[in-house]
Structure 1
Amino acid sequence: MEGGAYGAGKAGGAFDPHTLVRQPHTILRVVSWVFSIVVFGSIVNEGYLNSPSEGQEFCVYNRNPGACGYGVTVGVLAFLTCLLYLALDVYFPQISSVKDRKKAVLSDIGVSARDACP
């Protein structure tokens, strides 16, 4: 790949799906996307139980509905964020403005840093 602004080649090049799929950050985004589906899918599917003695369902995590809600929220937000940045990875080579590329890269770094810091 030719050198260019913010890790991309010259803008306006042809879209190459083979190159996109082989990039490590794309692979990690797809893996994160699958894990986010597992997180919110498993909590929605098996996180709540109905007790015959109680009239309502309860969360299996210490009977705290906030814990199940938090897990589902984090899973859904991770799912949407992964889809957003996968779409940005596809669109990134067509971004011609260096300022727009900088914004895209810095937003990716900011979201990644936010996810890494508790």
Structure 2
Amino acid sequence: MEGGAYGAGKAGGAFDPYTLVRQPHTILRVVSWVFSIVVFGSIVNEGYLNSPSDSKEFCIYNHNPNACGYGVTVGVLAFLTCLLYLALDVYFPQISSVKDRKKAVLSDIGVSAWETCS
């Protein structure tokens, strides 16, 4: 790969899906995307149960609906951010401005740090 700004080659090159799929951060984003589906899918499907004595649903996590809501929210946000940054990974080699590339990389770092802390 030729030298360029912020980890990509010079802007304007042809799109190469093989190179995109082989990049470690792309592979990790796809794995994170699958895990986010597992998180919110499992909580939505089996996180709420009906009590035999009560017709009201309750969350299996300490009967606290906020716990299930938090898990679903984190899973959906992770799903959406993974899709957003996968699209940015596809579009990134076409960004010609160094300032725009810097913003893209810093937003990726910032969102990753925020998701790690939450």
TM range (shorter): over 0.9
Which consecutive residues of structure 1, in runs of 5 or more, have no partner in the other structure?
A: none
Deviation at 1:57, TM superposition (A): 0.5
User: How many Å apart are 1:117 and its aligned residue?
Assistant: 2.7
Aligned to 1:76: 76
Structure 1 counterpart SS, 2:3: coil
Is 2:37 the counterpart of 1:54?
no
Identity %: 91
- 1:114 is displaced (CA, Å) by 1.5
C-alpha RMSD over aligned residues: 0.8
Q: Is there any run of 5+ residues in structure 2 with no aligned partner, and where?
A: none
Task: Report the 3-state secondary structure (helix = DSSP H, G, I; strand = E; otherwise coil) of the residue aligned with 2:107.
Answer: helix
Q: Distance in 2 between matches of 1:54 and 1:78?
A: 34
1:61 is paired with a residue whose SS is: coil
Instruction: Give the structure-2-normalised TM-score.
Output: 0.97
Aligned residue pairs, count: 118
Q: Distance in 1 between matches of 2:14 and 2:68?
A: 44
Deviations 1:86-105 (A, max 9, x none): 00000000001111000000
Write the distance in 2 (CA, Å) between the matches of 1:82 and 1:23: 15
1:109 equivalent to 2:112? Answer no
Listed as ranges, the matches of 1:82-93 within 5 Å are: 82-93=82-93
Give, in whole Å, the separation in 2 of the partners of 1:117 and 1:50: 33
Return the TM-score normalized by structure 1: 0.97
Distance, in Å, in 2 between the alignment partners of 1:54 and 1:76 is 29
